[in-house]
Amino acid sequence: MPPKWQRRFMKKGEKARRESSSKRMAEENPNASKSCQKEQQCAEVNGKCPDNLACIGTDFDASGGKNESESCRRVDELRSCSDCEEALQLHRITEERRYGLSSLLYVECVCGTLNSITTSKSHHAKESKRGVPAYDVNTKAALGMYHAGVGQTQVASFLSTLEIEGLHAKSMKARELEFSEHMKAVAQASCDEALQKEVAISLDVCKICEKKNLERGRNKTYQSSQAFKKRRLELKFQKRNATRAKEVREGITYKTAIATTHHSDTQEIPDAIFPPAIICVCESMYQKVFFDTETTSLHQDADIVQISAVCDTDTFDQYIASTKPVAPGASAVTRLTSQGGVLFYHGTPVNTLPMQAAKQNFIGWLDERAPVILIGHNF
């Protein structure tokens, strides 16, 4: 057998001869040369390496075309030996070292050279590019785990169901730390974008608030003006006059909280009152009784606070409790005042009775002198 360097030289000469032949065919028929070249390359790969991985579901493009998958990369590595450029065969694998989901295959050539082939691309996680490189398939597995929203236990269960050896927990964590900074950067960019939108919305809200504050300031300026104060006093005076008119027309039933402040002495509905018959009497047969009453005011709903009567030398005087205060005009004439439900005469408290009791006392006093003729004072 020739030496190793001679075999290498012979192969290179054969390769140059074939390249010159291909160029000559391409010049004579460009379209046919391209199709023949591609068929020759595919036949060479599939013919010499029937166990090659590229023959399984891969759209192989020998010129490094549009489909650059992992299988295409493995075809490029299996096509020729690193020493003699002979095509490698998978059944000549002597050893396999697994690195997570990736493998390092050691394939022995017919010339005795041991070639190392990886099943996945590799990269360095750090910028220094020192140490053992990380394989892309392991990083993609960790990224897919995050994307699917599952954990290491679920990924390991899935791979064990497919009878595939998964990644170690430390390796998975290392791959997570590899792309975590990029994920943080994307999340920060998303947060910044959302913050900018929120600031834009806040500016619009601030403009609306400024407009409302301006309108509120105008209203405050108008409310502090003399015209607004004058109009407010006019409305208040009109409302008070309307309330007084209704109170005079409807009595105390129109007042506010009358149910809690007014206590009626009526226990039952009284009988209907018929006007008395007018008859002629002889004055010598009746005693004359002169009586007078004092009220809290001159209004129609005023309460009686005193009843006084005179019959010859006999007198009757009774003060009556009232829930209404005595008007200043009435107090100036009668010298009666009220405070806290207590009736005063010249500033001295007097004994009072409810209206019903005072009426019964007055009727009893008249019955003792019956028959009488009642004569009202200033009626």
User: Could you give the domains of the chain?
Assistant: 1-90 (no CATH), 286-376 (3.30.420.10)
Alpha-carbon distance 175 to 308, whole Å?
111
* pLDDT for the residue numbered 201: 86
Considering Cα of 116, then 118, then 121, then 124, what sign does the dihedral take?
Answer: negative
The structure tokens 């809200």 sit at: 205
Whole-structure pTM over 0.75, yes or no?
no
pLDDT means per 10 residues, the chain with 379 residues, are 43 53 57 45 42 34 44 64 80 86 86 85 78 84 86 87 85 84 87 89 82 78 82 89 77 66 57 70 82 87 90 90 86 87 88 90 89 82
User: What is the Cβ-side half-sphere exposure of residue 299, based on CA atoms within 13 angstroms?
Assistant: 20
* pLDDT for the residue numbered 44: 45
Enumerate the H helices of 263-354 as residue ranges: 328-334
Distance separating the N- and C-terminal Cα atoms of the chain: 160
- 8 Å CB contact between 133 and 149: no
* pLDDT for the residue numbered 319: 92
